Chains A and B, each alone.
Chain A
């Protein structure tokens, strides 16, 4: 008993931090979202958001597409990594992580110069007399930026889940009659469920709320929720109350998404814990 009482104090510093910098600001956001510029209670901010539903929809769709692409890329490579010898695993994991050590803005900026009308890729195609292609300022470029930046967050949890699957389990599945696809659907996917759920959350949440990627690679025509919120706080359409309301709605969307994946997580973990 003494132990748990003592250990409770260890959480103290963080609890203070959380109260000061997370809980209080959250209430401030809610306060702004529910009031007008004169400080009076109103729901107008929230009801106004309906006008921006196309931006919300675009954000959700682009984030979902990026998440699916990341999943399709990460799953096989996660398996491949987990079957390497330990020392090779470490080297390959470093290579996966390598882009993350570069500044996020710089990475995204690099894609700008690659995708531009006079960028490297179009110049390369020009050598063969094809193009130039219109790549920058498209939703495809935004998806590319999201996948490029967030892919490691999908690979790592899936790889971790894969390392816990013993070779003999895969052999047992083969032995009992599984072909390659059946091994995938009946053994690997269910056993990596928690990793997949973590990966989806880690890619979808930053993708749906990003504003840098869409602004740098998407141009004006691919406005996302993040850009919209930024405009309310730093841009021309300065409106703290509307910006707060948008943040609040985005937060609810993220929470819904996370509760969905975590319920998937739990049902897959049934019998494992």
Chain B
């Protein structure tokens, strides 16, 4: 067994009122890694987190921590701590007492608690806030208290359930970087739940894409983005064009009425496949030299780029480009071999 694995889920089944929320999920989480569970709401990502925390007892399956089965361990005995979506701070305690809560339960002497709490507050950027009531804090500050309250207990694994969901975009981006920094500094495992694919790509070492109570793909952010295993992952992670094609032979694929060289192989000859092309990977050229030609339907200015909807033989393509074409214009499109990703065709 891999010694580096800290949490291991085996064939976890959870159902609520007869409806399967997790359907035989298995997953290994490596120590000191930033792992993100990514998926749409209802995909089972929060449920998986709560199974690890101990708030949900699975109907069947095992949860291992350091190789030991912890199925019978109640939440308060598990070496993990959780940062909740709604912060869940104790309203009757001030900032200091909220952070000190876990240490006091461990009966740590007062003279050890104080420096630990103050140090943790400094790490999360709340130095001098210890006497504040939590009602005097902004959402972002409350979230920092919640993070400090968990981290001060030095958990082996920190579980975070959409912790930035209630913050505005700017603050969210700041906190993303900060969480990543904290994870590196504390050198512990973070398991992070989010439905925001950009957040997942920004912070994670490993992304677990989930849907319908199952894992769709596990990989690094680059893998997930560049090599989606199926159409669900491709659609969920960023914008993408997914078109039907035929694999003629290794390194040659036909779609849109044109043969393209690509870097994929290992498919059967003439196997029907799905081709994924990211919108920013389509190069716009004059129609006469384009591999494909398309009719521009719509052009939307997005700040960094123009988003264009282009009709190519009945498929609507999405193209991101820094130069704008006009609606109704005929354009040529080129796609390089590296930009083409081939997936086995799946029914969606």
Contact = CB atoms under 8 A, between A and B. Distances in A.
Interface in B77-92: 80-82, 84-86, 88-92
B74 A174 contact: yes
Contacts of B101: 173, 176, 186
A167 to B, nearest CB: 9
A176 B105 contact: yes
Q: How large is the interface on B (under 10, 10 to 19, 20 to 34, 35 or more residues)?
A: 20 to 34
B88 A169 contact: yes
Interface of B: 53-55, 74-76, 80-82, 84-86, 88-94, 101-102, 105-106, 133-135, 149-150, 153
A174 B150 CA distance: 12
A65 B8 CA distance: 53
Given A177-B105, A271-B91, A171 B149 contact: no
A196 to B, nearest CB: 13
Interface string A165-182: 010110111111111001
A178 B76 CA distance: 6
Contact of B81 (A168, A175, A193): A175
A119 interface: no
A271 B133 CA distance: 5
Contacts, number: 76
A191 interface: yes
Which 9 pairs from chain A and chain B are nearest by CB? A168-B88, A176-B102, A172-B88, A177-B105, A271-B133, A174-B75, A190-B92, A175-B82, A168-B84
A132 to B, nearest CB: 49
Interface in A160-210: 166, 168-169, 171-179, 182, 186-187, 190-191, 193
Given A168-B86, A176-B102, A177-B102, A268 B53 contact: no
A163 B133 CA distance: 21
A187 B82 CA distance: 17
A187 B149 CA distance: 15
A177 B92 contact: no
Given A171-B82, A174-B75, A182-B105, A271 B88 contact: no
Interface residues of A, number: 23
A235 to B, nearest CB: 49
A186 B90 CA distance: 10
Contacts of A169: 88-91
A1 interface: no
Contact of B90 (A175, A177, A187): A187
Nearest to B50: A171
A175 B94 contact: no
A127 interface: no
Contacts of B53: 175
A190 B76 CA distance: 20
A10 interface: no
